[in-house]
Amino acid sequence: MGLGLALIVLQRRVILDTRRRALMEVRLREALGDQPHLLVVVQPGGKLVAAWGNAPAA
């Protein structure tokens, strides 16, 4: 009985951690998208991985 209860508690913690992580990711993506300048992630070889924010006016 004790092992079963421990597994249920562990599963609940994992579920809560997953939800928290997903919420933090959404908030981070929103914050990155609201940047006044363009932010980019580029691999060492020069490949663009991601971009957030607004590109400067031409």
Quick check: 54 pLDDT over 90? no
Which CA distances in Å does 31 have to 16, 36, 39, 56?
23, 10, 11, 18
Locate the domains of the chain by residue range.
2-52
Average pLDDT, integer, range 49-56: 87
Q: What is the pLDDT of residues 12-41, one digit of tens each?
A: 999 999 999 999 999 998 988 888 888 899
